[in-house]
Amino acid sequence: MGGWIQKRVDGTRVAMASLRGTPMPEILHAIFGHLEDDARSLWNCALTCRYWLPVSRDHLFQTIDLSSRRTARFAALLQRSPHLGQHVKRFSVVILSETDARYVSLIAPSLGSVSRLCLHYQAHSLFDKGPDVSSEDGVPLPAPCNLAAIGPVQELQISGNGHYNTMMVATVLDNFPHVQKFAWSRDASASLADAQPLAEILTHIPLKYLQASGLGACETLAYCFCLAAPAELEHLEFSYTLVRDVEHRALAAILLVVGSSLKTLAIGFNGVPSNAPAALEWDQYLDSCPRLEYLQFTLSRSLHLVAIAGLLSRLFSPCLQQIDLNMSGYNASDEGYLQSIVELLEDLRRFPALETVVVKTRGSVSSQTDPVWDEISRILAPLRAMGIMILNNS
């Protein structure tokens, strides 16, 4: 009595579930969609019965994250079962050598539906040098072939300090004319000699969201934008690895060129040393962002509360609706700076459209019974009284 049956209702053929009570595929998709982060459960579902296999397999292969050692195995799997590639929507791979790049070239034609692609160019350690790596002579790795066959990629991420150059980034990006979100993380210095092709490609894609992290990526993108800037960029996320003058200049150059179209800006201080300068002249950066609606700061040290206070004291933003302040550290000496920030945010002349202020104290407070929590809550009380305050101890 198993299998699928069809029944005519008012002249229309309607697919009915198996007489054994198996749910329709639409219901299974809705259920299995909650298990995409639980590969073990999806494997168990795939082995339950033959009716569940196609649906569970679809969800099981939607996200593929490959280390260098797993790339060859996945390529061999697709050679045996090429139909599995069509289920992959998010594809991430670590590239250590030319061999890894060749395996990615073999994998690409078997995919076709990828919308999010992550390429991580990781440098070999001194104890793990493969025969294909030119760690000593610095020969850059090539871009994998057949990348356009991967699918209609809309989100592209390139990261790592491995052996690649700006031309390789341009070559990869040129394969995906529909990219709307581009994230590039590279701290090692990059050559600006090949920036012109990258600048031209960035202007020909519908780029809406840009995430830049590290000296090499930030400096190169700033140079590209001075040559030719994307016209529709709305979201910028900029992460400092160290507070250096070149990073200040890079952020200034990017904001001055694309600031007129920005709606959201997120700036993170990751790994900033404790002796970094606290005062940052950011007023000249944000004056070029009249449409800014969302502003986020992520601080690795409480030292930079003084910088945020100084920035807000010079900022008038008529469209700003939300400010997020993520703090990973808070000291008793920061009370005055946090108080100044609260007083500035109360000023409706500066921020007439402000609706939400989110303060997260991750790692700053051990629990809500911590005296520091009481102090922060007391300082932020005026914003809570205005109905715009959200305080979260994560």
Domain parsing of the chain, residue ranges: 1-60, 61-164, 263-394
* pLDDT of the residue at 98: 86
Q: What is the pLDDT of residues 51-83, one digit of tens each?
A: 676 666 666 778 889 887 889 999 998 898 888
Strands 155-159 and 116-121: parallel
Average pLDDT over residues 329-358: 85
What's the token pair of residue 252?
A: 């200034």
pLDDT averaged over the chain?
Answer: 78
- Output the pTM of the full model: 0.79
| 5 has a pLDDT exceeding 50 | no
Q: What is the pLDDT of residues 91-115, one digit of tens each?
A: 999 988 888 889 999 999 999 999 9
pLDDT bucket at 179, cuts 50 / 70 / 90: very high
What does the alpha-carbon distance between residue 26 and residue 18 come to, in Å, rounded to a whole number? 14
Q: Kindly give the residue spans of alpha helices, DSSP state H, lying in the chain.
A: 25-32, 39-46, 53-60, 68-80, 98-107, 166-174, 195-203, 215-227, 245-258, 283-286, 305-313, 335-346, 371-385
Cα distances from 206 to residues 16, 202, 229, 235, in angstroms, run: 43, 8, 12, 12
Q: What is the DSSP secondary-structure string of 222-247?
A: HHHHHH---S---EEEEEESS--HHH
Q: What is the pLDDT of residues 252-301, one digit of tens each?
A: 888 888 888 999 999 887 655 544 444 455 566 777 888 999 999 887 76
Q: What share of the chain is helix, strand, coil (3-state, %, to 5)?
A: 40, 20, 40
Strand partners of residue 210: 182, 236
What does the alpha-carbon distance between residue 161 and residue 394 come to, in Å, rounded to a whole number? 31
| 132 has a pLDDT exceeding 70 | no
